[in-house]
Amino acid sequence: MNSIAIKMINRMSMVALSLLGFFLCAANVAAMDNFKSLEQPNILFILVDDLRTELPVYGKDHIVAPNIDRLAKESVVFQNAYVNVPVCGASRASMMTGIRPTESRFVGYQARIDEDAPNAIPLFSLLKDNGYFTQSIGKVMHFPDDSKDGWSVATWHPRLALARGKGTGHRNYQLEENIRLFKKNRKGPAYESADVPDNAYYDGQITDYAIEALEQFKNAEQPFFLTVGFLKPHLPFNAPKRYWDLYDPAKLALSDNPFLAKGLPKQANHNWGEMRKYVGVPKSPELMPDELALKLMHGYYAGVSYIDAQVGKVMDALRTKGLDKNTIVVFAGDHGFFLGEHGFWAKHSPFDLATHTPLMVKLPGNKVRGNTDGLVEFVDIYSTLVDLLGIEPPAQLQGSSFAALLHDLQAPGKQAVYPRWQKGEVIKTEKYAMTEWYGNKGGVQARMLYDHSNDRAENNNLANDPAHKKTVDALHQKLKTMMENR
């Protein structure tokens, strides 16, 4: 082939690529314009406690979750979304303020916005001030009265509806033997399978109440921000028997890495104290027996499928009432959970399994759907929603909008995200995850470095490998810069 022909082919290829880029860009612009042409959209925010990325949409087909899967097919699914702190109260407070946690702010499960960041404007308060009817059902903030003036009506939680001293608190046991056991010594088993209807447990009641709320919104002229917080699969792993029956115990498999990571610093070890509070769980430092481990896994999976059914009911109500055509849907966990990996049975850790959690966003009328690998963190959710709504963001926001990823799955995500736990600070990039533990005088006491391109399970700590010194130094500088500016 002569040089003139080659030049012509190259020129034609360039034109073809340019046209392809033009059409892709035009499609994304059209999707954005289609969304902006809608009237002020509602927001349905579904939040699930202790939810791992162990779902079909994340490649885990052994989990029965057809309703979450259906929602995923209508959404942009974030394959690399990270919470900023792996414990419920602090994670939710950070997410709802768009403010990063520190060693003294948004630390534990009892974190409150109105105490840790009293001058912050929570997302729900900002939306209320901008004409939205804001409502919280179930577990959204850890304390229902946290920043309560930001809600248009008082938070509803089924536990609050019980007379004082009635029931078994958040454990919500249904079997008489478990209720008696709990009332005798304030402890009960870590799981329960009761042959009861969905709304015998709290999450079924939360679903019923959410559907009633959607019925009221059907003819409302005011846009709504409805948050629905489900409790399971949080401990104890209680779910109606029908969801346990979805799984064959003989087919359940223990974690393939029940050992501590190679080179693990002592700061990263875990006693999983939350789990050890339950009857039948061995006391520290004993390991979890295999038989009990399989039963707990079964209970966790049943809890996920139970919540999947509740999500399906809420989404069906949104659709049948015609509200889906003008409602943004956000579905998220509040952090992950260990099911025996590294020998752990909890969250409360800087490891990937504790900080990596599901996030998906469904925009009405958006034709862009599917998986995006772009890195995002939960401190970005607030920024993204106000960006989509065209509302002026408050100065407190420390995240950034990922709206571009909702209209282009290949758009770049963040270069790094920053979870933390206690004295451990994490930087997660596309390839690496590094944790540094700091002493009282600010010096680094210990490190973990994992190469996620070949060790996503985080089994081999590379932090002390001389071959990775340049990587450690570069990540350290980025991490310190973030810490100085939060």
Which tens digit of pLDDT belongs to each residue from 322-372? 999 999 999 999 999 999 999 999 999 999 999 999 999 999 999 999 999
Query: Is 477 part of a structural domain of the chain?
Result: no
Cα 114 from chain centroid (whole Å): 22
Query: Is 455 part of a structural domain of the chain?
Result: no
Q: What is the mean pLDDT of residues 170-184?
A: 96
Residues 32 and 143 in one domain: no
Contact present, 422 and 90 (Cβ < 8 Å)? no
Contact present, 100 and 486 (Cβ < 8 Å)? yes
CA distance linking residue 421 with residue 87, whole number of Å: 9
Domain span holding position 26? 1-37
Query: Is 486 part of a structural domain of the chain?
Result: no
Residues 279 and 399 in one domain: yes
CA distance linking residue 12 with residue 372, whole number of Å: 30
Residues 207 and 339 in one domain: yes
Helix (H, G, I), strand (E, B) or coil at 342: helix
Residues 58 and 206 in one domain: yes
Query: Is 389 part of a structural domain of the chain?
Result: yes
Can you read off the two tokens belonging to residue 79?
A: 């394959």
What integer pLDDT is reported at residue 3 of this predicted model? 41
What integer pLDDT is reported at residue 440 of this predicted model? 86
Residues 28 and 107 in one domain: no
Residues 219 and 92 in one domain: yes
pTM: 0.92
Contact present, 340 and 254 (Cβ < 8 Å)? yes
Mention every residue, 6+ apart, whose C-beta is less than 8 A from residue 397. 98, 99, 382, 383, 386
What integer pLDDT is reported at residue 38 of this predicted model? 52
What integer pLDDT is reported at residue 263 of this predicted model? 97
Query: Is 464 part of a structural domain of the chain?
Result: no
Between 34 and 128, the higher pLDDT residue: 128
What integer pLDDT is reported at residue 282 of this predicted model? 97
Residues 80 and 139 in one domain: yes
Query: Where among 360, 387, 412 does a domain terminate?
Result: 412
Instruction: Provide the mean pLDDT of the chain.
Output: 93
Residues 25 and 50 in one domain: no
CATH number at residue 156: 3.40.720.10
What integer pLDDT is reported at residue 167 of this predicted model? 87
Residues 2 and 126 in one domain: no
Query: Is 221 part of a structural domain of the chain?
Result: yes
Residues 393 and 360 in one domain: yes
Query: Where among 388, 412, 436 does a domain terminate?
Result: 412
Query: Is 461 part of a structural domain of the chain?
Result: no
H/E segment holding residue 3: helix 3-36
What integer pLDDT is reported at residue 11 of this predicted model? 40
Mention every residue, 6+ apart, whose C-beta is less than 8 A from residue 408. 24, 28, 368
Query: Where among 366, 395, 412 does a domain terminate?
Result: 412
Residues 201 and 280 in one domain: yes
- Summarised one tens digit per residue, pLDDT across range 193-215 is 999 999 999 999 999 999 999 99
Confidence band of 126 (pLDDT split at 50, 70, 90): very high
Q: What is the mean pLDDT of residues 308-330?
A: 98
Which residues are the active-site residues?
88, 142
What integer pLDDT is reported at residue 114 of this predicted model? 98
Q: What is the mean pLDDT of residues 464-481?
A: 98
What residues are paired with 384 via a beta bridge?
Answer: none
Query: Is 449 part of a structural domain of the chain?
Result: no
Residues 364 and 318 in one domain: yes
Q: How many domains does the chain have?
A: 2
What integer pLDDT is reported at residue 217 of this predicted model? 97
